[in-house]
Amino acid sequence: MHDEMGGAGGWPLLELAPGERVAGFTLEGKIATGSFGTVFKASRDGRSFAVKLVRMGPRGEREVDALRRAQFPNVVGFLGYGLWPDEAPRFLVLALELVEGRPLDVWVREENPSALELVRRVLLPLAGTLADVHAAGVVHRDVKEANILMRQADAQPVLVDFGAAAYEGARRLTMQLPPGTPEYRSPEALRFARQWEGEPYPFGPADDLWALGVALYWLLTRELPFGDRKDPALVRVILEETPPAPQALNPRVPPALGALCLRMLEKAPEARYADAVALEEALEAAAALADDAWRVPLFPGGRLETHAAPAPVARRWPWAAGLGLGAAVLVGVFLSASGRRAPGAEVPAAEAAQALQRTGSTTPGPSPQAVPRREMASPQPTGDVDSGTAPEASPTPAPVARATARSEEPAMTTSQKTRSLLAAGCLAGSACAGGPQQRPPPEPAECPPGADATRERFQIPVGGRHFTVFPAFERTRIAVIREGEVTVEMVADWGQLPAPTRFRGQAIFGTGRVYGRFTEALLPGGETVPICLEWVSSSGVGWEMEPGSTAKEARIWWDPRIMSVLSFR
């Protein structure tokens, strides 16, 4: 029996019994409940997943967008999402990597690491991960010990719970301060709230780094640097008081590490480390000078077991390789328990296997065949929206012109070079050498004769959406296409249209977007019928170009969504 209880901010908390089926998953028990969703352990075909149910709306859409941008080895793997219940959807169902391990606060109490182990095993990987996440334009906005899990499979820290996350160009959900944990809010955020004049807070990487400093202070002392929310003076303390040096509370903290922690908690942002890269370099420099005092457990009482401190994790990762450590590449639709073969219906493993591909991994993880995906059908832009009342942030920057990576090369994460080009205004559609030129969207056009009959024959509703793929690009997830004739393959059955039907049409380049208009469906049995479909994304008609697109070749995600239309707009 389903029991919805009001959560913080009006978001529902779900009580679902073990054994219940949700979007093709069998629930095994609740992992966590927060203000914006409930996470369950779930299984499918004998494999385990974490499934997060989030109320349908802009916040859930934003979490999906943030997770999709932030796919790195030390970020919880995002495997796809769908809608539930099938008949009258009210929830997004996010399929995530099930991170088997302990929260960081539990891990540090049980393992009692030395300062050197803490730096090498936890802080360096986290700093590198935040550097990559921030370079991808994402800010987590709720960094704390409870949102960092020490993954048992490879002893690495994993950043989880992107329910409060946002990204560059997203519209705003809240009018004043974004979601967060009071004890971890930065002084600049609190000052902004005190002086608020109606504009949304300009969150940024500095907020995450401040929160990591608060977490580090707790890891070193087992005390929060400014107290907790029970103290009505918490805001004043964060704004005005400097906490004692960690080594004053715990003599086992090396002074150099204590000083590094206090610098992370300086009141003025410019007095802290400039970014996660600078923090990473400072941690590496401190660890390089470590003496024997760094090798003593931070607290008396020993530990459960002794681990050798592994080498620090590299900060820059190829995009596809990052996904291999726990996040499968998933395409298609979520499976339902209804038994119907329709959007959202169950797909045989053999069919799903044709569309799903997982990158290589040294960490055990779920099979790609286990979780196909269906994205939301909402035509509204995905982002931060506060019931239509919040001012809109700056639009997402158009793709940056740079050398095009071929399909056999892994697509790279957003680099410092890309970010500097963005800052310089070298955007797609500008006069940057080799970049796409300013081009208007294509003119409206009529559907081919017979398309209406095909739609009725195969029971495809007008406005219905479905996933397609470029099979040749499944490993890199970025397809490189030219303007002109294009063919995509349907992932699973759509109405009565059987997979793997192929759609043939034209790719038309616009400014920062590729418009796909499909007029022929090639059925598996060899029959060709007229059809009227076009590419759509969460931001409207067309599919966004990715960084590296040029006037001759566009880089787009390999799994574009199509929509059935009455005419081409």
How would residue 249 be classed by pLDDT, with cut points 50, 70 and 90?
very high
Average pLDDT of the chain, as a whole number: 75
Axis crossing angle, helix 124-135 with helix 205-221, rounded to the nearest 10: 170
Task: Report the C-alpha gap between 536 and 316 in whole angstroms.
Answer: 32
The whole-number average pLDDT for the span 46-52 is 92
How would residue 450 be classed by pLDDT, with cut points 50, 70 and 90?
very high
Most confident of 212-226, 313-327, 360-374: 212-226
Kindly tell me if the per-residue pLDDT of 191 is higher than 60: yes
Residue 377: per-residue pLDDT: 27
548 or 29, higher pLDDT:
29
For residue 85, whether the previous peptide bond is cis, meaning omega lies within 30 degrees of 0, is yes
- The residue type of 55 is R
Q: Are 73 and 317 in contact (CB under 8 A)?
A: yes
**How many residues would you count in the chain?**
569
The whole-number average pLDDT for the span 513-531 is 95
Task: Report the C-alpha gap between 294 and 115 in whole angstroms.
Answer: 5
Judge residue 151's burial from the number of C-beta atoms within 10 Å of its C-beta, 0-12 exposed, 13-18 middle, 19 or more buried.
buried
Q: What are the residue boundaries of the structural domains of the chain, listed by start?
A: 3-97+320-370, 101-318, 416-568
Q: Are 32 and 7 in contact (CB under 8 A)?
A: no
How would residue 417 be classed by pLDDT, with cut points 50, 70 and 90?
very low
Kindly tell me if the per-residue pLDDT of 343 is higher than 60: no
348 or 552, higher pLDDT:
552
Which of 2.40.128, 1.10.8, 1.10.3470, 1.10.1740 would CATH assign to domain 416-568? 2.40.128
**pLDDT tens digits, 426-448:** 223 333 333 445 788 899 999 99
**pLDDT tens digits, 193-222:** 888 766 777 789 999 999 999 999 999 999
Kindly tell me if the per-residue pLDDT of 416 is higher than 50: no
Task: Report the C-alpha gap between 56 and 36 in whole angstroms.
Answer: 10
**Architecture of the domain delimited by 101-318:** Orthogonal Bundle (1.10)
Kindly tell me if the per-residue pLDDT of 91 is higher than 50: yes
Residue 557: per-residue pLDDT: 80
Residue 534: per-residue pLDDT: 95
Residue 174: per-residue pLDDT: 63
Residue 544: per-residue pLDDT: 85
The whole-number average pLDDT for the span 77-103 is 90
Residue 176: per-residue pLDDT: 62
Residue 170: per-residue pLDDT: 65
The whole-number average pLDDT for the span 290-305 is 85
Residue 474: per-residue pLDDT: 58
400 or 436, higher pLDDT:
436
**Tokens of residue 455, six digits:** 């739609």
Angle (CA) 278 279 281, round 5°:
65
Query: Looking at the whole model, is its pTM more than 0.75?
Result: no
**pLDDT tens digits, 252-291:** 999 999 999 999 999 999 999 999 999 999 999 999 999 9
Which of 3.40.605.10, 3.40.50.300, 3.30.200.20, 3.90.190.20 would CATH assign to domain 3-97+320-370? 3.30.200.20
Axis crossing angle, helix 205-221 with helix 187-194, rounded to the nearest 10: 120
Residue 301: per-residue pLDDT: 77
Residue 325: per-residue pLDDT: 30
Residue 531: per-residue pLDDT: 96
Question: Which backbone phi and psi does 360 adopt, to 5 degrees?
Answer: -65, 150
Kindly tell me if the per-residue pLDDT of 328 is higher than 70: no
